[in-house]
Each structure stands twice: as C-alpha cells, then as structure tokens.
Amino acid sequence: MKSEIKKQSLFQGPIVRQAVIDSFKKLNPLVMMRNPVMFVVEVGTFIILLMLFMPRYFNIQNRGYVFAVFIILLFTILFANFAEALAEGRGKAQADSLKKTKADTVAKRINDKGEIETVSSTELRKGDIVLVEAGDIIPGDGEIIEGLASIDESAITGESAPVIKEAGGDFSSVTGGTKVVSDSIKVRITVDPGESFLDKMISLVEGASRQKTPNELALNTLLITLTLIFLMVVITLIPIASYVGIKLQIVTLIALLVCLIPTTIGGLLSAIGIAGMDRVTRFNVLAMSGKAVEAAGDISTIILDKTGTITFGNRMASQFIPVGSATEEEAREAAVLSSLKDETPEGRSVLELAKNQGFSIDYSQYEQAEFIPFAAETRMSGMDINGVSYRKGAVDAIQKYVQQLGGEIPSDLKEKSDQIANQGGTPLAVSVGKKIVGIIYLKDTVKPGMRERFEELRKMGIKTIMCTGDNPLTAATIAKEAGVDDFIAESKPEDKIRVIREEQAKGNLVAMTGDGTNDAPALAQADVGLAMNSGTIAAKEAANMVDLDSDPTKIIEVVSIGKQLLMTRGALTTFSIANDIAKYFAILPAMFTVAIPQMKALNFMHLHSPTSAILSALIFNAIIIPLLIPLAMKGITYKPMPAVKLLRRNLLIYGLGGVIAPFIGIKLIDLFVGMFV
C-alpha cells in the first residue's frame, strides 16, 4: 500500500506569508458573518474600538486596560482567520501545482472528413475525436475508441509505472494531462472545458466548491446556541450586579463573553473541515464533496469486489501437482522449463513459486533454447531444449498435442484437473516430450496483508462483505483466506445494490469500491462510493470519490481519515467547552471581589489582580487558537478501538486536559502580566 504522498510541511514560508495577509482580509464583516462565534468576537472588538475613540461618552477610566483588551481580541480574530487561511493556502498551493499539469496542450482533432487538424486543447468539446501518438499529452478526459497504448499517469497519480489502456472493456478511460508513452490511440473527448477531473480537483483543493457537511452544520448550530446562551447570561449579570451595587464595565463584560463562548473550536472549525479534504487529496483521492469524507468516518459496512481488490486479479501458480507415474519434482522442473521465457503474469508466477519452493536453475544454459510463444490456435506455449519439447497449456490442448506424438494420457489427469476447476482454479497441463507429467494449479491469489487490513477494519467496528462472480466453493475459500466477514457468490450488479440497501435499511452507512460499468449503480447507491481512476466513466460519475492511484484497498485509509476528521472536531469541541471552567474562575472573582470580598474564595489560582486576571484569561483564549492549529490541520491520531473506549480516552485527554491546561496557562500568563499592571 502506497503511503501518503505529496506530503507538505505544515508551515511553508510562502503559504504562511499569504495566510497572514488573508487573515486581515477576512476581517471583512461580510466574511466573518459566515462564522457566527468569531463574528460576535469581532462585534465586541469594534465596540471596544469605539470606546477608545470616544472615552468620555463611555466614561473610560483606564484607557490602557481597554486598549490591551482591544489588542488581545483583535489577535484572537486574526489567529482564527489565520487557521482558516493556512488550511486554504495549502489547498491553493496544491492547486497551483495541478494547474501546471493542466498546461494548454496541442490536440490533433479528427474532423468530419477524417482529416487531422491541430487545435488548442481548450477548443475541444464533448464528442470530439482526437489522435494521440507516442510522446503526446492527452488533451482532455475521454475514452479510447481505437487502439492500445502505454500511458504515463505520473503527473496525475504520482505513480511512475505506465499503465496499459485499450479500447473497449473497463479500462478505456483516460485523463487529460497524462502522456502516451508508446503506440497511438484515438480518444473520444467526454467532457467540455472546465469539467475535467483535473478541473474538479483544482476547484476542490482550492475550496471553492466546498460546502459544510451535515455534521459541521449541526456543530455550528450548537456553537451558535452556546453563544446565545452565554450572551444572555452576560446581559443578565448587569441588573444582578446593579442590584448588589456593582457597576460592571462594558469592556469587562465583553471580555467575559469572549472567554465563555466556544471561540477555540469556533476559530478552528473551518480549518478542520478544509484540512480533512486536503488530507484525502494528498492520498490521491478526489472527493467530490466534504460530505463524502465525513460519511466515511461513520461507515459500518464495506462492500468489496474480489477481483483486483482482495485478490491480484491475475491467476497465479499456487501448486505443482504430478500426474501418472511422475513425481512432484518432475512436474515442477517441467513447469519451470516451459515457462523460462514466458513473460506473462502466469509464466512469471510459475518461476516465482518454484523459487519459493527451493528450486534453482542456471538460466544461462537455456539462452539458446527455442521459445514457443502462446498462440490462440494451439492454446499452449513452451520451450524446445536439446530436441526435447516442454509444453504447458490448456488440459485438452496438451492432451491433443501428446496424442499426436503417440503418447498416452495419465488416468488421473481428468480427475485432478476437474478438482481444480471445481474449486474455481485453472488447471494447466505440463508435458515433457510425449509424456504429461503434471498440472499447474493457477488461482486468483489473495493480496499480502489483506487479512491484517480486514482485522483492522473489524477493530473499527466495520463489517466487510466480498462480492464475486465465482461459485460458492471458490468464494468461500477466498473469503476464509482473506478474512472477510461475509461473502456473496455468483453475484450480479443487482445483488450488490440489494446488499447495500439491506445494510442501509438496518441504519448502517455503506462504502463500496468498484471500477466497471456494472459497478456504477452500486457506487451511486452507497453512502461512500470509491471509483478507480482506471475504470469506466460511468463508474467515476456514479461515485462520490475517485482514487487516482486505482488502489481499491485505499478505502481503508479514506475511512481512517473520515474518522480522524470527526474525532478531531469532537476532541477540540470538548477541549474548547472544558476551557470555560478555568476562565470562569479567573474572571468572575475579578469582577465581583471588590464589592463582594467573599468572592476571593473563588480566586484559588491567586491571580495578581482583577485586571491581570481578565487580561490573562483573554490572552490564553487568544493564543490557544494558533497553538492548536497543527492539531486541527494534521488531525488527532486515530487508533482502531471500540467506540466506548475511544470516547473514554478522548474525554480523559481533551476533556480533562481542557480543564487543567487553562488553569496552568492563565496562572503562568498572570505571573508575566502582573509585572506590568
């Protein structure tokens, strides 16, 4: 599994400088209104600014104190804006690199007369046919309608190895900006300018089309509600204080309101959401919406195709089975010699299996041997070595070949080959001269580490279901070997949709991976549909995520990122609300101690003075935002564990930590502030 790519340093000079500039631009009230919590802080800051300009009207006694509160509140807003601008800046930096990939290229468009005309890629429209030859950049997203070519997709996916794309089938789609390495193809353009995957990716990483998710909207509602509650609490303090003969300063009331409302999470909420999208993008997954990323965090069931997802997809040698009077050693040697120059995946797997079983051979002595390539007519391949023919191929083809040479068919050949076929494998007969010596058992092999990855999902509380067109016996064998929770054999497209709907009816959120046209309905039905970039246009349009690396197992990373996003948001919300306890004990005694000496009992932190107490609480409230930016951007560490244990862990770290940290922080700040007030 490829690790996270395109990893950037959190604080890069150009990004930080632009974020600082954007922090001031975002002071625009029309922009701030999108964040109600911080908008309240800005309104309070503006009121204090008016007090500084009209001290007589507001009866200001200590102008230095008011100015200090103004500066602290201003920096509180700027720090919150900086967190959002920094998250956006990282996306824009990545978008700039993508725009370089999306350079204007020349296209060889084929007109109605069949003639080739050279045009700019920006002139291409949906339905146009273009010729792309070796060395050319593919000018736009489309489908290959003629030809086969090796395509370098490293500019988009980061993978250096070229991939083979050809007309027809499930791997005919190509992406604009990729390069044809060999051969030539004709491509039908499937999108108009501005609608390509690269355009969508640039738009998404810049945050231009990012919408708040339902969970984020719910949290916003909670924060607004808390802000209104604390606003009413602060307003009711005025008549209460007046009743006991205390005149509260407006600046102090604003300071109390700012400290009690959840400014920490309010200032970091946008950054958390943007950073979640950014993390998915840096894993080379194009998420069509923030909702898809968030939904991934609540996934409880994952539907996976067997071929290419759980297994390699290519049938590989797994066993050498002797037949007749031959030994296993004879069968192995014959299989190796017939595969020496076979460059197909099956041929290489024969040599790999023999090597793993301890078989060694001097390849140099067979360099002059004649290689017999596979042909559709003969359905076999092999080598002629020193007048001896070594062949491997379909059982009936080898039988016919041996009989033509006058050889006999082993009595157990049919029984053993049928047994392999019944298990979903492919039997290849192996002969030496006119004698059949064995069978190569080919089967679709489970990818290494799949059992461990499914165990990881199980720890997350996620159920895995494998879908395959294989017979029940083969499906059961693969399912047991891979370690999935359940499987559906002989499945058709409608079966996948049925399973997804059944799971959704139980209240589960379902993820699905796929790449073919027949996967499109299921991808559209799933809560999280992850399509492969190497798949069909239909699959990519139906899904709400596209993996540019075409690695189906990456759904596990997507789920982890989704959970990390939700946990980060929840943890910082808990921390923000828990902060209020310390601020309460810092500011309230400072407000009432002069008139009510008994309130000194609440000042157990022994803060220097009422003024230093208020300023210290405000300073802590401001600086905690930039201190938590790295955590908001990177996300908290996610470890698979039961939900109850996870909740207990986060309450202990961020709940208790949110209570203790402000007491320590405010006290340390007060020791410093006390020297000046």
C-beta of residue 129 within 8 angstroms of C-beta of residue 110: yes
Does pLDDT of 430 surpass 90? yes
The catalytic residues are: 305
How much is the average pLDDT of 262-269?
90
Helices (H), 158-213: 197-206
Give residue 6's pLDDT. 43
- How many CB atoms within 10 Å of residue 669? 22
Q: Is 186 annotated as a binding residue?
A: no
Rounded Cα–Cα distance for residues 417 and 421 (Å): 6
Beta bridge partners of 315: 444
Compute the half-sphere exposure of residue 306: CA atoms within 13 Å on the CB side of its CA: 32
pTM of the model: 0.65
Instruction: For residue 308, name the pLDDT band (cuts at 50, 70, 90).
Output: low
pLDDT beyond 50 at 2: no
8 in helix, strand or coil? coil
Residue in 274, 269, 257, 272 with CA at minimum distance from that of residue 42 = 257
Give yes or no for residue 629 having a pLDDT over 50. Answer: yes
Nearest to 402 by CA among 429, 374, 433: 433
Residue 346 labelled as part of a binding site: yes
Q: Give residue 208's pLDDT.
A: 43
For the segment 123-141, what is each residue's pLDDT rounded down to a tens digit? 888 899 999 998 888 888 8
Instruction: Give the containing element (helix H, strand E) for 647.
Output: helix 643-650
What span, in angstroms and rounded, lies between the C-alpha atoms of 451 and 483? 5
Is 196 a known ligand-binding residue? no
CA 449, 452, 453 angle in degrees (round to 5)? 85
Tell me if 375 is assigned to a ligand binding site. yes
Read off the pLDDT of residues 53-109 as tens digits, 9 standing for 90 and up. Answer: 988 888 887 889 999 999 999 999 999 999 888 877 766 665 565 565 555 678 899
Residue 157 has pLDDT above 70, yes or no: no
Q: Is 128 annotated as a binding residue?
A: no
Closest C-alpha to 555, from 467, 481, 454: 454
DSSP class of residue 674?
T
Question: What is the percent of the chain where pLDDT is above 70?
Answer: 89
* The pLDDT of residue 256 is above 80: yes
Q: What is the mean pLDDT of the segment spanning 505-530? A: 84
Tokens of 659: 């209570």
- Residues 453-466, mean pLDDT to the nearest whole number: 85
Tokens of 193: 């300018």
Query: Is the pLDDT confidence value at 440 over 90?
Result: yes
> Are 47 and 110 a contacting pair, CB within 8 Å?
no
Is the pLDDT score of 170 beyond 60?
no
At 482 the pLDDT is 86
Give which of 659, 638, 482, 672 is closest to 565, Cα–Cα. Answer: 638
Query: Which positions ≥6 away from 109 have C-beta within 8 Å?
Result: 116, 117, 118, 119, 123, 124, 128, 129, 130
- For residue 532, the SS3 value is strand
* 580 closest CA partner among 233, 169, 198: 233
Mean pLDDT of 554-568: 84
pLDDT class of 34 with cuts at 50, 70, 90 = confident
Given a contact cutoff of 8 angstroms between Cβ atoms, the answer to whether 606 and 250 are in contact is: no
Which run of H or E residues covers position 510? strand 509-514
Q: What is the mean pLDDT of residues 201-220?
A: 62
Domains and CATH numbers, the chain: 13-93+205-281+561-674 (no CATH), 125-192 (2.70.150.10), 289-310+447-548 (3.40.50.1000), 315-445 (3.40.1110.10)
Q: Do 383 and 373 meet the contact criterion of CB atoms below 8 Å apart?
A: no
The mean of the pLDDT values for the chain is 83
The pLDDT, as a whole number, for residue 595 is 67
Amino acid type, 374: F
Residues 593-619 pLDDT 10s: 766 777 777 777 888 888 898 899 999
Percent of the chain with pLDDT over 90: 27
Residue pair 519/492 in contact (Cβ under 8 Å)? The answer is no
DSSP classification of residue 307: B
Query: Is 374 annotated for ligand binding?
Result: yes
The half-sphere exposure of 644 on its side-chain side, counting CA atoms within 13 A, is 0
- Please, what is the Cα angle at 498 between 495 and 501, to 5 degrees? 150
- On whether 192 is known to bind a ligand per the annotation, the reply is no
Residue, of 212 and 379, whose pLDDT is higher? 379
User: For residue 424, is pLDDT > 80?
Assistant: no
381: annotated binding-site residue?
yes
Written in H, E and C, the secondary structure of 570-625 is: HHHHHHHHHHHHHHHHHHHHHHHCCCCHHHHHHCCCCCCCHHHHHHHHHHHHHHHH
Rounded Cα distance, 583 and 617, in Å: 6
Rounded mean pLDDT of 299-321? 81
pLDDT band of 213, cuts 50, 70, 90: low
Q: Which of 51-55, 469-473, 585-589 has the highest mean pLDDT?
A: 51-55
380 labelled ligand-binding: yes
> Could you tell me where the beta strands, DSSP code E, fall in 329-478?
370-372, 380-385, 388-394, 426-432, 435-446, 463-467
Q: Tell me the residue length of the chain.
A: 677
- Tell me: is residue 330 an annotated ligand-binding position: no
The answer to whether 455 is a known ligand-binding residue is no
Cα dist from 215 to 211, 299, 566, whole Å: 12, 14, 8
How confident is the model at residue 97, as a pLDDT?
57
DSSP string, 79-146: HHHHHHHHHHHHHHHHHHHHHHHT---EEEEE-TTS-EEEEEGGG--TT-EEEE-TTPBP-SSEEEEE
